[in-house]
Amino acid sequence: MRYGVLDGGKRLRPLLVLAACEAVAGHPEAALRAAVAVELIHAYSLVHDDMPCMDNDVLRRGKPTVHVQFGEAQAMLAGDAMQALAFEVLTPDQDEHPVDPALQARLVGLLARAAGHAGMAGGQAIDLASIGVSLDERQLRDMHRRKTGALLQASVLMGAACGPAQGPESWQALSDYGAALGLAFQVVDDILDVTQASEKLGKTAGKDQDDNKPTYVSVLGLDQAQSHAEALRGQAQEALRRSGLATGIGEPAHWLAVLADKVVEREH
């Protein structure tokens, strides 16, 4: 479990939790727990995703994947245990680490829905069923909205949930920000898969193309995919402005604005 979660990785999802919590002046203890939990879910999904029954990859975060290092059975169990640990972290003993039970329940609900059949796991199922299948942009967007976007969006909303109740317009704006950023992340991932080497990415480059999987590059072409990523960045920043949270340097939502830029500008 430590091998799969502690070494390497961008930590984007926990950063989004903490940035959103800061933007709404939220509860830092609850946000830190939410940040850990969402990263555990992400890490478990990578462990399972890399296994021979799924994407069958041998490189992750610049080192052998968990099943290569420890065997398939241990990798499966490690991923299972990471998933359970995420919800254990979100529901601490009240005497030692007070987090309001209503907030615990809300965070658990947001994370479970993002990780389950309507979110990450469902998106992965669509991904596996789409090998060798031609998808249009709408179908591709729906797959990645679930597979990648749901957990990134939930990261923003979990952080926001740690603060005072947001009005419906502000909450929707933050949700829209998370949705646009989540999709932008996947578009850039698809671009980097064909423009960067494995050494830079820390995972096997060109694997989606080799496995005949539909991507934003294969559906839209490289130039259009890059334009789409920029458009999604604009949507994320516009949604952040609609939230009513100030984004200037030193202001509450500054780091949310920075993270939207970093998602699109990254090189790995």
Give the model confidence (pLDDT) of 141-173 as tens digits.
999 999 999 999 999 999 999 999 999 999 999
Cα gap 145→141, rounded to integer Å: 6
* pLDDT for residue 207: 79
Q: Percent of the chain, pLDDT > 70? A: 100
Average pLDDT (184-201) is 90
Instruction: Kindly list the distances between the CA atom of residue 258 and the CA atoms of 33, 56, 216, in Å, as whole numbers in the listed order.
Output: 22, 34, 24
How far is it, in rounded angstroms, from Cα 268 to Cα 117? 28
Say if residue 206's pLDDT is above 90: no
CA distance 156 to 15: 9
Whole-structure pTM value: 0.95
* 216-264 per-position pLDDT tens digit: 999 999 999 999 999 999 999 999 999 999 899 999 999 999 999 999 9
- pLDDT at residue 177 greater than cutoff 80: yes
* Alpha-helical regions (H) of the chain: 2-5, 12-23, 28-49, 66-70, 72-90, 101-115, 120-129, 137-144, 150-161, 168-195, 198-201, 207-210, 216-220, 222-242, 254-265
